[in-house]
Amino acid sequence: MSNNMFRVVANLGGPLFLAILLTGCGTMTGPSGSVPTTQQVASTLAEGENRIGTLSPQTLTAGECGLFLWSRSSERNLILFNGRDGEAHMVINGQSMKFPRAQAEGEQVLGQFEIQTFQQNQYTLRVDLGFEKRAGISRGAVIPQGSLRLSGEGGWEVIVPVGGLVACEER
């Protein structure tokens, strides 16, 4: 991410948001393309099942854009990363998972959409976002609020309020 993006983000949300952003962009996924787990988020549905975990920091390669979503809880854990490939990366029950995008609609910013639905085996994931394009951010947008809905067989559903960022790494 460019220095201008960091300055803009620092002005938007202050030092805490900048620290969260830096955490979200710090390291790469493992050599196998898996997304490592660092800890579990306290979003549980039933007796320890269907836990949404925290992703390790994610990095963008030169010219790559991505969606970073954090839980809007006191911990502000990175819980979803979605690159331009259309696969959402999450940790569910301690297991790294990729969710291929099944549907997208609404405004589009750098390959990300306001409403996106992803499907993986027994899970359905839907994200509803609002993008804010702000002065000084030429390649990206802030997501001040949104929701992530994870549902599965049996009719259960977990809803997590989220915030985040769509950003690109300079070429």
> pLDDT for 89-140, tens place per residue?
999 999 999 999 999 999 999 999 999 999 998 899 999 999 999 888 878 9
Rounded-to-integer distance, Cα 89 and Cα 110, Å = 17
Sequence-separated (6 or more) residues with CB below 8 Å from residue 1: 21, 25, 60, 167, 168, 169, 170
Question: What pLDDT is recorded for position 23?
Answer: 39
Report the SS3 class of residue 103. Answer: strand
pLDDT of residue 49: 64
**pTM (global) more than 0.85:** no
- 76 Ramachandran zone, left/alpha/beta (phi>0; psi -120 to 50): left
The amino acid at 27: T
Domain count, the chain: 1
Containing domain of residue 105, as a range?
Answer: 3-168
Closest CA to 88 of 62, 114, 109, 117: 117
Encoded tokens for 36: 């490592």
50 or 170, higher pLDDT: 170
- The pLDDT tens digits for 8-66 are 333 334 333 333 343 344 333 344 444 443 333 444 434 446 789 999 999 898 989 99
Closest alpha carbon to 123 in 86, 98, 160: 98
Q: What is the pLDDT of residue 139?
A: 85
pLDDT tens-digit profile of 140-169?
999 999 999 999 988 999 999 999 999 998
